[in-house]
C-alpha cells in the first residue's frame, strides 16, 4: 500500500498549480485529492479506488450518492487531465524532502524517496533511507554471520563472542559434523551397493530404437513410465548434440538413453506397491541451466522434494535414497538454449542416462 492510500493527499500539498476549482478533484469519501480514481456510471462521481472499495465492502452495490445501484466506470477524462496538471510536495517533506513532483510520478518518487524512514534491524531505530547504509554499517546491535564458522553474533559482542579462537573452534565443530554425515552416507551406500548394482536401469534391454524416439512401454522393469521415451545414444550425440560425446556415468555401455520434457513420472505397478528411489543421472539435451524439480509421493501425498540445476551435456548423478514411495515426478523448467547444441530453439528436454530403483 502506498503512502497516498494510507494517509491521503491533502490539497495543502498542491504547489504552483493553475487549477482553480480543487473541489472537483476531491474524493467525497475521504475529502482528500483523488488517488487512482474510478467513478460511478450513473452519477459520474469520482472516488479514490481504495475509498470506494472499502465503502462497497460495507455497502455492497450501493453508491455513496444513493444511486439505485453502483456500476463502476473509468474516471471522466477531464478529471484525469486536471489531476495530471497537479504539482505536489512529497509526503516526506516533513523529514526533509524538498522535491515537487507531478501527480502521475508521485507514487514512484515516494517509493524511492531518500527521506522515507526505514527501521534498523539491529537497534530498531527509524533511520532515513539516505542514511540507512551508513547507520547499519556501524550499528553495534546489528547481527553478523561469520562466513567461515557460521556463528551469528552482534557487532558489539565481537570482541568477546567471536574471537579467532572461537571462530576456529566453531569451524572444527562444523567440519566434524560434516565428516560424520558423509561417513554415515558412505556406510549406507556400501551396504546398498550390491542391491544398487542389480536395481540400476540403463535402458540397455529395451528393443533397439530406430532414429525416432520410442515411448518406454508400461510395466518395463515392473514400473509405469509416463511421458518418458528412449532413443539411440549415438543418434542423440550425432544429430542433436552435434557429435558431443556424453558419458553415461554407468558401468554399462547402453545403446539407449531416456528423455523427458514437461512433467514425467515413474510409478509403482500396483496400488499398494512401493519402492526406494535411490538415484538418477541427468543432463540437458538442448537447454542449459534448467531447473529440475523432483518430487516423491506416497498415496498421492508429497513426501520428498529435491531441486537442482541441469546443465547441457554435463551428466549429474543425483543421490536421493527416498524410501517407501509409490511415485516420482520429474519436471524441468525454463533454462536457456546452449549455443552449441545445434537446435534452432531451446527445449526443456532432459536426458535420463540411468535410474536406480529397488
Find all residues with CB under 8 Å of 161, minimum gap 6, and list them: 151, 153, 154
- In the chain, % of residues over pLDDT 70: 87
pLDDT of residue 192: 62
Side-chain-side CA neighbours of 220 within 13 Å: the count stands at 21
| Alpha-carbon gap, residue 296 to 294, rounded angstroms | 7
Least confident of 105-114, 128-137, 334-343: 334-343
pLDDT of residue 239: 63
pLDDT of residue 111: 92
pLDDT of 134 strictly over 90 = yes
pTM above 0.85, yes or no: no
pLDDT of residue 193: 61
Of the pLDDT bands very low, low, confident and very high (cuts 50, 70, 90), residue 22 is: confident
Mean pLDDT of 39-56: 94
| Alpha-carbon gap, residue 268 to 300, rounded angstroms | 12
Measuring CA to CA, which residue among 253, 252, 246 is closest to residue 282? 246
| Alpha-carbon gap, residue 352 to 203, rounded angstroms | 10
User: Could you report the per-residue pLDDT of 339-350, keeping only the tens digit for each?
Assistant: 666 554 557 889
Query: Considering all CA atoms of the chain, what is the largest pairwise distance in Å, rounded to the nearest integer?
Result: 89
Helix (H, G, I), strand (E, B) or coil at 191: helix
Set out the domains of the chain in order of their start, with CATH numbers: 3-89 (3.30.40.10), 214-357 (2.60.120)
Q: For residue 127, how many other CB atoms are within 10 A of its CB?
A: 17
- Extended strands (E) in 241-313: 256-260, 264-268, 275-284, 287-288, 290-298, 301-310
pLDDT of residue 141: 92
pLDDT of residue 250: 42
| Alpha-carbon gap, residue 70 to 120, rounded angstroms | 45
Mean pLDDT of 72-95: 94
Of the pLDDT bands very low, low, confident and very high (cuts 50, 70, 90), residue 25 is: very high
pLDDT of 4 strictly over 60 = no
| Alpha-carbon gap, residue 298 to 301, rounded angstroms | 5
pLDDT of residue 248: 46
pLDDT of 53 strictly over 70 = yes
Give alpha helix (H) positions in the chain: 3-7, 49-58, 77-84, 106-112, 129-136, 158-161, 164-199, 233-235
Helix (H, G, I), strand (E, B) or coil at 282: strand
CB 337 within 8 A of CB 288: yes
pLDDT of residue 180: 87
pLDDT of 19 strictly over 60 = no
| Alpha-carbon gap, residue 24 to 42, rounded angstroms | 17
Place of cell 546491535: 141
Of the pLDDT bands very low, low, confident and very high (cuts 50, 70, 90), residue 1 is: very low
Amino acid at each position: 500500500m502506498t503512502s497516498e492510500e494510507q494517509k491521503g493527499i491533502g490539497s495543502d500539498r498542491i504547489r504552483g498549480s493553475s487549477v482553480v476549482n480543487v473541489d472537483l478533484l476531491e474524493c467525497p469519501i475521504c475529502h482528500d485529492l483523488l488517488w487512482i480514481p474510478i467513478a460511478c456510471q450513473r452519477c459520474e462521481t469520482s472516488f479514490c479506488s481504495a475509498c470506494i472499495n472499502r465503502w462497497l465492502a460495507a455497502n455492497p452495490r450501493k453508491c455513496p450518492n444513493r444511486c439505485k445501484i453502483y456500476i463502476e466506470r473509468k474516471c471522466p477524462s477531464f478529471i484525469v487531465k486536471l489531476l495530471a496538471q497537479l504539482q505536489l510536495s512529497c509526503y516526506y517533506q516533513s523529514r526533509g524532502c524538498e522535491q515537487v513532483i507531478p501527480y502521475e510520478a508521485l507514487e514512484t518518487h515516494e517509493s524511492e524517496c531518500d527521506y522515507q524512514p526505514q527501521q534498523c534491524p539491529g537497534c530498531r531505530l527509524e533511520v532515513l533511507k539516505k542514511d540507512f547504509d551508513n547507520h547499519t554499517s556501524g550499528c553495534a546491535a546489528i547481527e553478523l554471520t561469520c562466513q567461515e564458522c557460521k556463528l551469528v553474533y552482534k557487532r558489539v559482542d565481537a570482541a568477546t563472542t567471536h574471537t579467532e579462537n572461537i571462530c576456529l573452534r566453531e569451524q572444527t565443530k562444523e567440519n566434524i559434523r560434516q565428516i560424520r554425515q558423509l561417513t554415515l552416507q558412505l556406510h549406507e551406500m556400501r551396504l546398498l551397493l550390491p542391491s544398487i548394482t542389480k536395481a540400476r536401469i540403463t535402458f540397455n534391454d529395451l528393443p533397439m530404437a530406430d532414429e525416432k524416439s520410442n515411448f518406454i512401454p508400461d510395466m518395463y522393469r515392473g514400473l509405469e513410465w509416463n511421458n518418458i521415451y528412449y532413443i539411440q545414444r549415438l543418434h542423440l550425440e550425432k544429430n542433436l548434440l552435434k557429435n558431443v560425446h556424453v558419458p553415461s556415468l554407468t558401468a554399462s555401455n547402453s545403446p539407449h538413453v531416456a528423455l523427458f520434457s514437461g512433467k514425467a513420472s515413474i510409478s509403482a505397478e500396483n496400488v499398494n506397491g512401493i519402492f526406494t528411489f535411490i538415484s538418477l543421472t541427468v543432463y540437458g539435451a538442448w537447454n542449459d541451466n534448467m531447473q529440475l524439480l523432483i518430487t516423491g509421493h506416497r498415496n498421492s501425498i508429497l513426501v520428498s522434494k529435491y531441486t537442482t540445476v541441469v546443465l547441457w551435456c554435463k551428466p549429474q548423478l543425483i543421490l536421493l535414497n527416498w524410501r517407501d514411495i509409490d511415485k516420482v515426478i520429474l519436471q524441468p523448467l525454463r533454462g536457456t538454449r546452449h549455443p552449441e547444441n545445434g537446435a534452432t530453439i531451446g527445449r526443456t528436454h532432459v536426458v535420463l542416462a540411468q535410474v536406480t530403483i529397488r
